[in-house]
């Protein structure tokens, strides 16, 4: 039996030449080298290629072109004010119906205490997301944000997914721009990327049929960007979606980004099935996790950053993915509930020094950032953000 052919593209001039045994990757490699946009079909081809190293190599080329060896992380804390949720998404193990035994809703003082607890180094970001509570008024969330800003004026508040914003606007009987304006006035600085899941209706009906649809998620993000907010964008993969659904999701994000430029980071989230209504679905694998990071980097040519969220994929995989297109590993987090309720076995948080080691041992240069990717300089137990 003869060895599989190796196809070499001489048009590529990175550190080493591009090699693959998948002939279908050659035209894609030529486009990547020329900085040309990839098509829907290219995305599907990348997902189906048997040559994961070649796909990763191309993603790494783009990653290094944008960021060299720099790898971003931050010192943040998650706050989930309530797990009471009207949505009952099949993908979720965190949300509870009102009246169930293990529900919780933080009193404001409790939320402020949570914000201050659990870590000695000054955090630069509060990441605030929670359930869609049927009774909590809009003002509760504004008081929460205002109270945090008063107590921690230097900390960036990244709060409320597009799903929460649409829900809170409805509850407050206001338009989405009106809700966004009130959030801005209260002290929200940017938005996290959650709730995007997979935009395709067919999949959304299975995994989260009570949430706003994909078009509404994108419209809300567009409005937020037009009002000057930056946000992130996630994609939940590894459940019932097909390769085409993932590519469609990324192309819809890419189209909005062409309009607004407001997305900072794309964060693929691998589905954790334990304790969800989809617990029969097998867990994602390392190969899919790496491939998803790489295809994200290659398809989303207008996104500055691709985050490999260590809590989701494990610190080990996050480290390896720094060679497969990722340039960000997220942060210290301190206390994570959403994936841990769904069976994640990763630690609840990581110390700054451990994140630095993880990045350094991958041969990359750690860069502590604030939420808007500005450099953080630390002195004793405080920090300054570069202009």
Beta partners for residue 112, in sequence order:
none
Separation of alpha carbons 238 and 285, rounded Å: 9
Query: Known binder of ligand: residue 208?
Result: no
Q: In the range 93-122, which residues lie near ligand V47 by CB under 6 A?
A: 93
User: Which residue, among 173, 248, 259, 251, has the nearest Cα to 224 in the 3D structure?
Assistant: 259
Smallest gap from Cβ 239 to ligand V47, in A, equals 8
Cα–Cα distances (Å) from 184 to 79, 82, 181, 188, 274, in that order, read 19, 21, 5, 5, 36
What are the residues whose beta carbons fall under 8 Å from the beta carbon of 221, sequence distance 6 or more?
162, 191, 231, 233, 256, 260, 262, 263
Q: Among residues 12 and 180, whose Cβ is nearest to ligand V47? A: 180
Tokens of 307: 């985050």
Q: Among residues 250 and 342, whose Cβ is nearest to ligand V47? A: 342
Separation of alpha carbons 72 and 341, rounded Å: 27
> x-or-dash pattern for ligand V47, window 62-81, by CB under 6 A?
--------------------
Residue nearest ligand V47 (C-beta atom): 194
Smallest gap from Cβ 244 to ligand V47, in A, equals 19
| Binds ligand V47 by CB under 6 A, chosen from 42, 330, 368, 370 | 330
Residues 70 and 365 sit within 8 Å (Cβ to Cβ): yes
Stretch that binds ligand V47, among 143-151, 271-279, 285-293, 355-363 (CB under 6 A): 271-279
320 lies in the binding site for ligand V47 (CB under 6 A): no
| Binds ligand V47 by CB under 6 A, chosen from 79, 84, 92, 145 | 92
Smallest gap from Cβ 345 to ligand V47, in A, equals 13
Q: How many residues bind ligand V47 (CB under 6 A)?
A: 22
Smallest gap from Cβ 32 to ligand V47, in A, equals 26
Q: In the range 342-381, which residues lie near ligand V47 by CB under 6 A?
A: 342
DSSP 3-state of 105? strand
What are the residues whose beta carbons fall under 8 Å from the beta carbon of 324, sequence distance 6 or more?
56, 59, 60, 290, 293, 294, 297
Residues 176 and 166 sit within 8 Å (Cβ to Cβ): yes
Residues 322 and 336 sit within 8 Å (Cβ to Cβ): no
Smallest gap from Cβ 331 to ligand V47, in A, equals 8
Q: In the range 174-233, which residues lie near ligand V47 by CB under 6 A?
A: 192-195, 197, 232
271 lies in the binding site for ligand V47 (CB under 6 A): yes
Smallest gap from Cβ 46 to ligand V47, in A, equals 22
DSSP 42-58: HHHHHHH-S-HHHHHHH
| Binds ligand V47 by CB under 6 A, chosen from 144, 166, 338, 350 | 338
Residues across the chain: 387
Distance from chain centroid for Cα 53: 23
User: Which residue, among 328, 269, 267, has the nearest Cα to 300 in the 3D structure?
Assistant: 267
Smallest gap from Cβ 169 to ligand V47, in A, equals 18
Stretch that binds ligand V47, among 60-68, 97-105, 263-271, 294-302 (CB under 6 A): 263-271
| Binds ligand V47 by CB under 6 A, chosen from 85, 269, 295, 358 | 269
Smallest gap from Cβ 53 to ligand V47, in A, equals 27
Query: Known binder of ligand: residue 197?
Result: yes
Tokens of 167: 């829900």
Cite the annotated binding site for S-adenosyl-L-methionine by residue number: 197
Interface residue list for ligand V47 (CB under 6 A): 91-93, 129, 192-195, 197, 232, 234, 236, 267, 269, 271-272, 276, 309, 330, 338-339, 342
């Amino acid at each position: 039996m003869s060895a599989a052919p190796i196809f070499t593209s001489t048009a590529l001039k990175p550190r080493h030449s591009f090699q693959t045994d998948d002939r279908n990757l050659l035209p894609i490699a030529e486009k990547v080298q020329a900085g040309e946009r990839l098509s829907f079909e290219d995305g599907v081809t990348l997902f189906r290629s048997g040559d994961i190293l070649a796909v990763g190599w191309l993603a790494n080329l783009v990653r290094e072109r944008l960021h060299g060896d720099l790898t971003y992380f931050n010192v943040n804390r998650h706050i989930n004010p309530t797990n009471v949720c009207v949505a009952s998404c099949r993908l979720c193990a965190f949300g509870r119906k009102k009246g169930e035994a293990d529900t919780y809703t933080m009193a404001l003082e409790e939320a402020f205490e949570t914000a201050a607890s659990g870590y000695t180094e000054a955090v630069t970001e509060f990441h605030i997301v929670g359930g869609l509570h049927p009774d909590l008024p809009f003002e509760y969330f504004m008081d929460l944000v205002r109270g945090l800003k008063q107590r921690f004026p230097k900390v960036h508040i990244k709060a409320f997914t597009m799903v929460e914003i649409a829900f809170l606007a409805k509850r407050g009987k206001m338009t989405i721009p009106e809700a966004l304006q009130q959030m801005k006035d209260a002290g929200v600085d940017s938005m996290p990327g959650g709730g995007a899941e997979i935009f395709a209706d067919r999949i959304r009906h299975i995994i989260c049929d009570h949430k706003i649809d994909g078009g509404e998620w994108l419209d809300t993000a567009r409005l937020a960007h037009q009002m000057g907010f930056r946000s992130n964008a996630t994609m939940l993969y590894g459940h019932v979606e097909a390769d085409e659904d993932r590519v469609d999701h990324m192309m819809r994000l890419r189209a909005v980004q062409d309009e607004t430029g407001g997305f900072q980071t794309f964060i693929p989230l691998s589905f954790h099935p334990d304790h969800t209504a989809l617990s029969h679905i097998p867990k994602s694998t390392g190969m899919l996790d790496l491939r998803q990071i790489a295809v994200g980097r290659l398809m989303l040519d207008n996104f500055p950053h691709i985050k490999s969220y260590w809590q989701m994929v494990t610190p080990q995989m996050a480290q390896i993915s720094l060679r497969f297109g990722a340039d960000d590993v997220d942060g210290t987090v301190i206390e994570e509930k959403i994936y841990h309720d769904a069976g994640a076995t990763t630690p609840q948080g990581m110390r700054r020094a451990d994140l630095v080691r993880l990045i350094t041992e991958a041969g990359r240069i750690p860069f502590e950032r604030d939420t808007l990717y500005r450099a953080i300089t630390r002195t004793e137990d405080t920090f300054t953000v570069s202009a």
